[in-house]
Amino acid sequence: MPQVDVGPNEPLDRALRRFKKKIEREGILKAVSAKKHYEKPSVVKRRQARAAAKAMRKKVV
């Protein structure tokens, strides 16, 4: 679980922004949204294949 230490003079919104960035970098939000509903293994594979193809197209261009 990501943890952010708030300094004595640090505004709370800055600490919250750092916390949100840590969560995003670790992929926690994606994992939570993926587990929200059951997804058949074939659908998962299809989604991953599409994402890989999209990444390859983006990398080539």
Q: Where are the domains of the chain?
A: 12-60
Give this prediction's pTM.
Answer: 0.58
CA atoms within 13 A of residue 11's CA, in its CB half-sphere? 3
pLDDT at residue 56, rounded to an integer? 96
pLDDT at residue 42, rounded to an integer? 97
Mean pLDDT of 20-38: 90
CA angle, residues 17, 19, 22, in degrees to nearest 5: 110
Rg of the chain taking only CA atoms, in angstroms: 17
Nearest Cα residue to 28 out of 50, 59, 56, 3: 3
Average pLDDT, rounded, for the chain: 92
